[in-house]
Structures are given as structure tokens and as C-alpha cells.
């Protein structure tokens, strides 16, 4: 009885196994370009929409969507409306893998746009089919120089200037303006921070003993930065670089205030560009009452920061002006700030890239269009977009917060933009001669 | 599927055959399902093993754990280190994960075995919080970004025809099937009876010649071994072993899955695993167009509501309620 049953099962098992192997060997059918239909182009983005690191950055995706909606109302891209699927990975690498898998496999997006975070996106590139399916991976929202590597990541394009570029420019600025001061740094302990350290080293900047402090990303909200800030204070650092996310900058500034910053302790703070949006910092500092707001502003006043875009408050700037207009109508209730500017500017570039990819875009045509024409796209950036080599913008200007939380060029007037590359072999930094293209009429690109 | 009842238990041979059949069905079925579902299937398999580890410890041995994520982390880090430092083949690392986590569980069990109830829950909670933070502080473990753990592609000529997701699913499903078979065998063996005896009444068990302390340590060790396997499966699905993958939330999620499925039956683990993996995805896709904020928090609220409902209506879980219903008829 049992033997007969075993035989039957064995036969069944073999049959099923053979069927399985045969079916698994059948190649997938060729299909139309994923994410592109007669009427729509679907794009996907995975970003921190909630969680410790999300404040500020969670406005980038919705700002992109707002600009796309504006374009959709003006006729879309060759008649196709742009849809953005926005996923929340909470800045956690394992979540990013899940979300990007979902975007590519289930939502079948045409391209990924503006994915945010170094560790998160590294994980996604490793464990999702971005490379295997040649999914265009446009304008990642991180400055990690390793992403501009066409051999390793052929479809990934950067947006921010690399952290190495930023650190080299910061190093030059500090050496020029604070030649004899002791310098300390607080950095995020992952590729983001390490990229920065490599840039500071290339730029020849040395840190005072005990003045190199780090924090684990996502840890700052729970454990605080008291140990690190106390160590920086006792190291005697007179110039302190904060090279982390905005939420870390907020905790650091709050801790510094508790340690006497602004009264008995007066170091010069310099904040990295990704961690220095004033509106977000004010919100994070719990600035709900006028008194608290004033206290936060006091701690920010005089701090330096870098930016590759115009100041969000520079309403004279044609790009800023138009984006504010779009934000008011298409992103209702969201206060205008640097994060919204970053997102809208990104969306403006994406629309131009989609147009350049032709009337019937494919993933390959989008990538080749970006490589050949990306450098000529109109955008608010003050430096050239080196998308020919998968690199993002290539320059920064240094600004100082005034007493109303507004960042303005240090020497007044127009910003002086410094440019460099991601080489760690030298710290060469030059003043940029780049001329920015004008904003397309009505903010609607017509490029081919 | 693999339903085991105390009144009527299939023999070990029948169980193995049943497992084989399930394996074949999954193997063949995986060819007809889209890749994203396959990926989710792999996740379900990984969570399933994690929930089984909780069912063994809490359901059978009666020891409450809030820190199963920590044991998963120990397994995962051991596996990733074995690849990184010693270049061992991936398949061996699954055994290493089990052994390392079991050893860790034994050590914890020896001390935690003296605790019970809320004190034990508190102690395991401390591990769930402490282990990821500790991992973050040890340089060889790669800090926040963690270590890479890549199971790669199917071997030889199948590398091109078998998608990486199918390959991942096959491995995770195989681990889950083996884990379930072993778990069911354990619970219907003398060891399982000992655990249940200790859970029911320690003194009575001792009078029957069972050493309660030893029985508890054994349960901790075995359960941790399963958690180690869950950890390495989980890491295979994301290709990464990092502190943020083993948060307190994961431990709670597994416990929730165990309770929702039915903590006193291995068979409930599958339901629990499906709930914790699928519910968030379903609700996210329903709500994402409405508002991302809602999409972010709603799945958690739904799962929590289910947990409360389950505790109120079927405290031993839906699977136990079903069993009772069947026994009545």
C-alpha cells in the first residue's frame, strides 16, 4: 500500500519537476517599453517620506509630482501625462530594496527618478533589477561619488555635486578664510560621510585631535549627539563642519546651544548642503512658539552652508520665481523651501530628458539622450550638469544664514560658484565660468 | 498543509512526503507567478521561519520573547562574516547561521532560563534593542551600511534562464519547508512533550522527572537556531545584513505574526507570515494615491487592530479557534 503510494508520488513528482524545468526555460516574451503607454509615462521614486531622516526630504517627491502635474496640464510630454509613483523607504536600506523591487517589478515604471540616500540606493542597486533590466535611474538625491560610475552602474545618473566635490570646495574655503583656526567635523558614518572625508583629505584640510566625530545614520533622533558635540567642544575646534542629514544638523545645533553656543562658546559652524535647509531646521528645532523660533534662528545666524542652486529665498531668480508660482497652485499648502526647489528643478530636468528621448521613448533612448544632451538642459543649477559621465552638478557657492534664517552669499551680491571634480588625487578648486541657460518660457521645456 | 493535531498525527514519513509535495507545488507554481509575487513569496518564507521560532519558544515552551530579531541578527551577521572573512560558499553559511544563533541562544537561555513572564520579556527586549546598536559599533560588521549578503544566481547554465527572484524564492522556500518539518517533528517528539509539560506546570513536570531549567534552555537554543535560519533567509531577500534590518519593529512584527496565526500551532505560522508581508502591500497600494501619509501608517494600524481583535476574540489565534471548531464537529 505504502509502496504503491510512494511510486505514484514519485511519478507525480518527476512529472511536475520536468514541467517546471521546461516552463522555467521558456524565455520571456518581448514586450513594449515598460511604463510607457499611449497616454502616460510612469516614473518611480523611493525616498524617506517618514521616519527619523525624513523631515525636509519628504517634500522633494511631492514637489516633483507638482511640477509634473503642471506639465501635464500644459499637454504633458508629447501628449503623455507623467505619473510619479512615490514609495516610502524611511531611509532604511532593506526597505529601499523592497520598494524599488515593487516599483520595477509590480508597478513596471519606465524609470526611477530622484531616489534618495546613499546607503539605501546602494542596497537597491545591489538587489533590484535596475542594472539587469537597464532601468534608467535618474538624478539620485545623494552626493555619493560612487554612483557616477558608468561601468558599474550604467543607468545611474547623479544630481547633486558629489560629496567629494563639496568637501574639496569647503576645504579650500576654510583654508582661505580661516587659515589658522582649528577645524573639527561631525560626519555620518557611512559612504556619505566617508566620501566627504576623502574630499577633505584631497583638499588638504586637517582636523584637530579629538575633532573627528561621527554618528550612525538614523541614530541621532534616538540617542542624541551630546557625546559627539561635547567632544568637539573640548577638542577646541574653532571651525566645526556638520556633514550629515538635516535631522542630524538640527540635533547638533540644539545640543550645541545647550553647551553654550552663542553665549560662552563661539565656533564657526559650516554645514554640508544636504543638511542645511533653514525651513526644515526651524521645524525640527520645534520652533512652534515665537520664543523658540527666535532661539533657533539665533543658533543658526552666522552659520555657513553650501548650495548648488539659488537660495530658495532669492525671488529675483527666474527659476525660483516660476517654481514658487507652480508650488502655490500645484502643491497647495506646502511651504516653499529649498527641498521644494530641489524637487521642482529635478522634475524640470526629467521633463527635458524625456523630451530628448524622443516621441516614442525607450529606456535606451532616455539614457543616450541624457548622456548626449544632459549638459545643455535648462535648470536652476549654477554649475554644469556633467551627465555625459553620469555626474551631476559640479559646483557650489558658500552662503551665510542671516538673522531671519535666510542663506545669502557670504560677500553679498551674486554667489561666487566654485567648481571641481570628484578626483581624490588633488584638491584643485576653481571659480566657475559656467553660464546658466535661461528658464524655458512659462517653465515648460520645448527641447528635442 | 502540514496540519498537526495532538489527536491525530501523521507519521514522520508521511510528513516528509507531504513536505515534498508542497515543495514540488511551490517549485512548479513559481513559474506561473509574476516576479514581484515571487519576491514576496520569498519574504513570506523568511518570516515564516522567524514565526516558527517564536511558536516553538512561546507557544510550546511558554517562554515569552520580544527579541527574536536579535537572534536573527546573530545568524545573519555570522553568515555574512563567514562569506566576507573566510570566503565560504553561501550554502554553508545557512548552517553557520543556525549554529551561531543556537549557540548564542544557549548562552542567553542559561541566564534567561532563570527568568519568566514579564522579566524574560524585558530581558529579550533588551537584546532586540542592544544587538543592532552593538552591531553598529563594531567596525568589522560594517556599521549602519552593514555587510553584503548575496546569494547570487542559479548555478551553471540556469543562471540565465532562472530569474534571481525565482532562485531566491526556491532557497527561502526550501529553508522554510525544512524548518517546518523539523519543527513539527520536534513538537511531536519527547522534547516537544517535555516543553509543553513545563509550560503547563513546572512543578508537575519536575515530578515527572523533567528538568525544567534544562528544558527551557533547550527550547531557547532550538528556537534561536530557527531564528538564525530566518535571519539568513531574510538577509538573502534584501542582499544585505545591516542594523536597520533587525529593529525592534521586526521583533514585534514577528510576534504579531505568531499571535495572529496562532501561537500554539506551527500551522498558524504560515497564516501569520502571509498577514505580516501581504497586508502592508495591499493597503499601501489602496491608499498611496489618496495620501502617502495614510499609506505609511495605515498598514501598521490595521495589523495592530487585527492583533487586538485576535486577542479579544481568539486569544490562542485563529488556527487554534479553527481546531476547536473542528474538534466540536
- A-contacting residues in B 203-242 (Cβ below 8 Å): 237-240, 242
Q: Grid coordinates standing for A61? A: 517627491
Q: Is A425 left (phi over 0), alpha (psi -120 to 50) or beta?
A: alpha
A71 contacts A101 by C-beta, under 8 angstroms: no
Residue A42 pLDDT > 60: yes
Across B153-180, average pLDDT: 87
Count of helix runs (H) and strand runs (E) in chain A = 14, 14
Specify if A425 maps to a domain: yes
Q: Do residue A216 and residue B243 have CB atoms under 8 angstroms apart? A: yes
Reference B249, options A218, A85, A120; nearest CA is A218
A337 contacts A367 by C-beta, under 8 angstroms: no
Report the SS3 class of residue B287. helix
A217 in B contact zone (CB under 8 Å): yes
Q: Grid coordinates standing for B34? A: 509574476
B232 contacts B81 by C-beta, under 8 angstroms: no
> Who's near B54: CB < 8 A, 6+ residues apart?
B65, B68, B223, B254, B255, B257, B258, B263
Q: What is the DSSP string of A51-67?
A: STT-TTGGGHHHHHHHH
Q: Grid coordinates standing for A163? A: 560629496
> Who's near A403: CB < 8 A, 6+ residues apart?
A297, A298, A301
Report the DSSP beta bridge partners of residue A84.
A43
Confidence of residue A135 (pLDDT cuts 50, 70, 90): very high
Q: Grid coordinates standing for A222? A: 534616538
Q: In terms of CA atoms, which chain B residue is nearest residue A97?
A: B238
Q: Measure CA B55 to chain center.
A: 9
Q: Grid coordinates standing for A428? A: 584643485
Report the DSSP beta bridge partners of residue A113.
A138
A83 contacts A41 by C-beta, under 8 angstroms: yes
CA B208/CA B197 separation, integer angstroms: 9
CA angle A213, A192, A184 (to 5 degrees): 25
B180 contacts B48 by C-beta, under 8 angstroms: yes
Question: pLDDT tens across B91-132, in order?
Answer: 999 999 999 999 999 998 888 777 877 888 888 888 888 888
Confidence of residue A368 (pLDDT cuts 50, 70, 90): very high
By Cβ distance, the residue of A105, A126, A218 closest to B239 is A126
Reference A160, options A308, A338, A370; nearest CA is A308
A21 φ, ψ to 5°? Answer: -65, -40
Reference B42, options A174, A19, A98, A242; nearest CA is A98
Residue A17 pLDDT > 70: no
A64 contacts A344 by C-beta, under 8 angstroms: yes
Residues A130 and A198 in one domain: no
pLDDT at residue A289, as a whole number: 64
B282 contacts B306 by C-beta, under 8 angstroms: no
Q: In terms of CA atoms, which chain A residue is nearest residue B151?
A: A127
Confidence of residue A219 (pLDDT cuts 50, 70, 90): low
pLDDT at residue B4, as a whole number: 40
Q: Grid coordinates standing for A275? A: 543638511
Minimal Cα–Cα distance from A339 to chain B, Å? 17
Residues A366 and A260 in one domain: no
Specify if A439 maps to a domain: no
Reference A93, options A195, A191, A198; nearest CA is A191
- In eight-state DSSP terms, residue A385 is B
Q: Kindly state the greatest CA–CA separation across chain A.
A: 94
To probe the interface with B, which of A11, A93, A116 has the most B CB atoms within 10 Å?
A93
For residue A59, the domain's CATH number is: 3.40.50.2300
Specify if A436 maps to a domain: no
Residue B54 pLDDT > 80: yes
**ipTM of the predicted assembly exceeds 0.85:** no
Residues A198 and A335 in one domain: no
CA angle A181, A175, A314 (to 5 degrees): 105
Residues A385 and A415 in one domain: no
- Indicate the range of A124-138, A240-254, A429-443, B7-21 predicted with least confidence: B7-21
Q: What is the DSSP string of B110-168?
A: HHHTT--HHHHHHHHHHHHHHHHHHHHH-GGGTGGG-EE----S-STTHHHHS-HHHHH
A16 in B contact zone (CB under 8 Å): yes
Q: Measure CA A408 to chain center.
A: 21
By Cβ distance, the residue of B20, B27, B281 closest to A20 is B27
Specify if A336 maps to a domain: yes
CA-CA distances (angstroms) from residue B208 to A219, A356, B204? 50, 80, 6
Residues A289 and A339 in one domain: no
CA angle B150, B155, B160 (to 5 degrees): 90
Residue A221 pLDDT > 60: no
Q: Pick from A374, A394, A414: which residue ends a domain?
A: A394
Residues A326 and A412 in one domain: no
Q: Measure CA A87 to chain center.
A: 15
To probe the interface with A, which of B131, B144, B160, B242 has the most A CB atoms within 10 Å?
B144
Residue B268 pLDDT > 70: yes
Give me the helix-helix angle, A226-234 and A246-258, nearest 10°.
60
Question: What domain range includes position A68?
Answer: 40-161+313-394
Specify if A15 maps to a domain: no
CA A242/CA A213 separation, integer angstroms: 10
Q: Do residue A126 and residue B150 have CB atoms under 8 angstroms apart? A: yes
Specify if A10 maps to a domain: no
Residue A8 pLDDT > 70: no
Q: Do residue B242 and residue A216 have CB atoms under 8 angstroms apart? A: no
Domain count, chain A: 2
Residues A289 and A408 in one domain: yes
Residues A148 and A47 in one domain: yes
CA A361/CA A34 separation, integer angstroms: 10
Confidence of residue B285 (pLDDT cuts 50, 70, 90): low
Across B181-200, average pLDDT: 92
Residue B44 pLDDT > 60: yes
- In eight-state DSSP terms, residue A437 is P
Q: Do residue A16 and residue B145 have CB atoms under 8 angstroms apart? A: no
Specify if A108 maps to a domain: yes
Specify if A360 maps to a domain: yes
> Who's near A253: CB < 8 A, 6+ residues apart?
A242, A261, A269, A281, A285, A296, A299, A300, A303
pLDDT at residue A31, as a whole number: 55
The alpha carbons of chain B give a radius of gyration, in whole angstroms, of 19
pTM of the shown model: 0.82
Q: Do residue A27 and residue B143 have CB atoms under 8 angstroms apart? A: no
Across A321-332, average pLDDT: 95
Q: Do residue A97 and residue B239 have CB atoms under 8 angstroms apart? A: yes
b/e B143-159 (16+ beta carbons within 10 angstroms → b): bbbbbbbebeebeeeee
Residues A320 and A301 in one domain: no
Residues A339 and A276 in one domain: no
Residues A254 and A105 in one domain: no
By Cβ distance, the residue of B25, B238, B292 closest to A97 is B238
pLDDT at residue A73, as a whole number: 96
State the average pLDDT for chain A. Answer: 86
Residues A103 and A72 in one domain: yes
Amino acid at each position: 500500500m505504502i509502496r504503491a503510494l510512494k511510486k505514484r508520488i514519485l511519478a507525480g513528482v518527476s512529472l511536475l519537476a520536468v514541467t517546471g524545468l521546461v516552463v522555467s526555460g521558456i524565455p520571456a516574451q518581448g514586450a513594449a517599453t515598460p511604463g510607457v503607454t499611449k497616454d502616460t509615462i510612469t516614473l518611480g521614486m523611493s525616498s524617506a517620506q517618514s521616519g527619523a531622516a525624513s523631515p525636509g526630504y519628504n517634500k522633494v517627491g511631492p514637489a516633483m509630482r507638482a511640477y509634473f502635474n503642471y506639465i501635464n496640464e500644459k499637454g504633458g510630454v508629447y501628449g503623455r501625462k507623467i505619473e510619479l509613483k512615490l514609495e516610502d523607504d524611511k531611509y532604511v536600506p532593506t526597505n529601499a530594496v523592497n520598494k524599488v523591487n515593487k516599483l520595477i517589478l509590480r508597478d513596471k515604471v519606465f524609470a526611477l527618478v530622484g531616489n534618495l540616500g546613499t546607503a539605501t540606493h546602494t542596497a537597491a542597486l545591489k538587489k533590484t533589477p535596475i542594472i539587469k533590466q537597464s532601468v534608467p535611474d535618474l538624478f539620485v538625491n545623494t552626493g555619493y561619488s560612487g554612483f557616477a560610475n558608468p561601468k558599474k552602474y550604467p543607468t545611474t545618473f547623479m544630481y547633486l555635486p558629489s560629496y567629494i566635490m563639496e568637501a574639496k570646495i569647503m576645504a579650500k574655503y576654510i583654508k582661505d578664510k580661516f587659515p589658522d583656526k582649528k577645524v573639527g567635523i561631525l560626519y555620518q558614518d557611512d559612504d556619505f560621510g566617508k566620501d566627504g572625508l576623502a574630499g577633505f583629505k584631497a583638499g588638504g584640510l586637517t582636523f584637530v585631535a579629538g575633532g573627528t566625530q561621527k554618528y550612525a545614520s538614523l541614530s541621532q533622533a534616538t540617542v542624541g549627539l551630546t557625546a559627539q558635540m561635547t567632544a568637539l567642544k573640548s577638542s577646541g575646534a574653532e571651525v566645526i563642519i556638520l556633514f550629515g542629514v538635516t535631522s542630524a544638523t538640527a540635533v547638533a545645533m540644539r545640543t550645541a546651544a545647550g553647551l553654550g553656543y552663542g553665549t560662552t562658546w563661539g565656533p564657526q559652524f559650516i554645514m554640508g548642503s544636504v543638511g542645511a535647509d533653514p525651513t526644515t531646521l526651524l521645524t525640527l528645532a520645534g520652533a512652534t512658539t515665537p520664543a523658540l523660533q527666535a532661539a533657533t534662528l539665533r543658533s543658526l545666524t552666522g552659520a555657513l552652508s553650501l548650495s548648488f542652486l539659488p537660495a530658495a529665498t532669492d525671488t529675483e531668480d527666474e527659476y525660483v520665481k516660476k517654481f514658487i508660482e507652480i508650488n502655490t497652485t500645484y502643491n497647495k499648502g506646502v511651504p516653499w523651501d529649498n527641498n521644494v526647489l530641489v524637487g521642482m528643478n529635478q522634475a524640470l530636468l526629467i521633463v527635458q530628458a524625456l523630451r530628448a528621448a524622443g516621441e516614442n521613448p525607450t529606456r535606451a533612448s532616455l539614457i543616450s539622450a541624457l548622456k548626449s544632451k544632459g549638459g545643455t538642459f535648462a535648470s536652476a543649477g549654477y554649475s554644469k550638469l556633467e551627465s555625459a559621465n553620469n555626474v551631476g552638478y559640479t559646483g557650489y557657492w558658500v552662503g551665510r544664514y542671516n538673522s531671519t534664517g535666510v542663506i545669502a552669499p557670504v560677500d553679498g551680491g551674486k554667489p561666487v560658484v566654485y567648481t571641481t571634480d570628484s578626483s581624490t588625487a588633488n584638491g584643485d578648486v576653481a571659480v566657475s565660468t559656467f553660464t546658466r541657460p535661461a528658464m524655458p518660457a512659462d517653465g515648460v521645456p520645448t527641447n528635442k | 498543509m502540514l496540519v498537526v493535531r495532538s489527536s491525530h498525527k501523521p507519521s514522520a514519513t508521511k510528513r516528509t512526503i507531504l513536505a515534498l509535495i508542497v515543495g514540488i507545488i511551490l517549485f512548479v507554481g513559481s513559474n506561473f507567478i509574476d516576479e514581484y509575487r515571487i519576491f514576496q513569496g520569498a519574504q513570506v518564507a523568511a518570516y515564516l521561519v522567524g514565526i516558527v521560532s517564536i511558536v516553538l519558544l512561546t507557544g510550546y515552551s511558554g517562554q515569552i520573547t520580544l527579541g527574536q530579531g536579535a537572534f536573527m541578527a546573530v545568524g545573519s551577521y555570522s553568515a555574512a562574516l563567514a562569506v566576507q572573512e573566510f570566503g565560504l560558499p553561501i550554502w554553508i553559511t545557512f548552517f553557520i547561521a543556525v549554529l551561531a544563533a543556537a549557540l548564542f541562544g544557549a548562552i542567553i537561555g542559561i541566564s534567561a532560563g532563570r527568568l519568566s513572564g514579564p522579566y524574560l520579556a524585558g530581558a529579550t527586549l533588551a537584546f532586540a534593542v542592544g544587538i543592532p546598536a552593538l552591531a553598529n559599533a563594531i567596525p568589522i560588521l560594517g556599521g549602519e551600511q552593514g555587510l553584503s549578503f548575496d546569494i547570487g544566481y542559479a548555478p551553471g547554465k540556469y543562471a540565465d534562464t532562472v530569474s534571481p527572484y525565482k532562485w531566491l524564492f526556491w532557497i527561502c522556500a526550501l529553508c522554510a519547508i525544512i524548518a517546518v518539518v523539523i519543527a513539527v517533528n520536534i513538537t511531536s517528539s519527547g522534547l516537544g512533550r517535555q516543553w509543553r509539560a513545563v509550560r503547563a506546570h513546572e512543578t508537575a513536570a519536575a515530578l515527572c522527572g523533567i528538568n525544567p531549567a534544562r528544558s527551557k534552555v533547550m527550547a531557547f537554543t532550538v528556537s534561536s537556531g530557527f531564528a538564525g535560519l530566518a535571519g539568513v533567509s531574510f538577509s538573502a531577500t534584501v542582499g544585505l545584513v545591516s542594523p536597520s534590518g533587525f529593529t525592534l519593529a521586526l521583533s514585534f512584527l514577528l510576534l504579531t505574526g505568531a499571535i495572529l496565526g496562532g501561537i500554539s500551532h506551527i500551522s498558524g505560522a504560515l497564516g501569520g507570515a502571509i498577514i505580516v508581508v501581504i497586508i502592508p502591500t495591499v493597503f499601501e497600494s489602496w491608499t498611496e494615491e489618496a495620501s502617502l501619509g495614510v499609506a505609511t501608517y495605515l498598514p501598521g494600524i490595521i495589523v495592530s487592530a487585527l492583533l487586538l481583535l485576535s486577542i479579544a476574540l481568539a486569544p490562542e489565534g485563529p488556527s487554534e479557534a479553527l481546531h476547536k471548531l473542528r474538534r466540536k464537529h
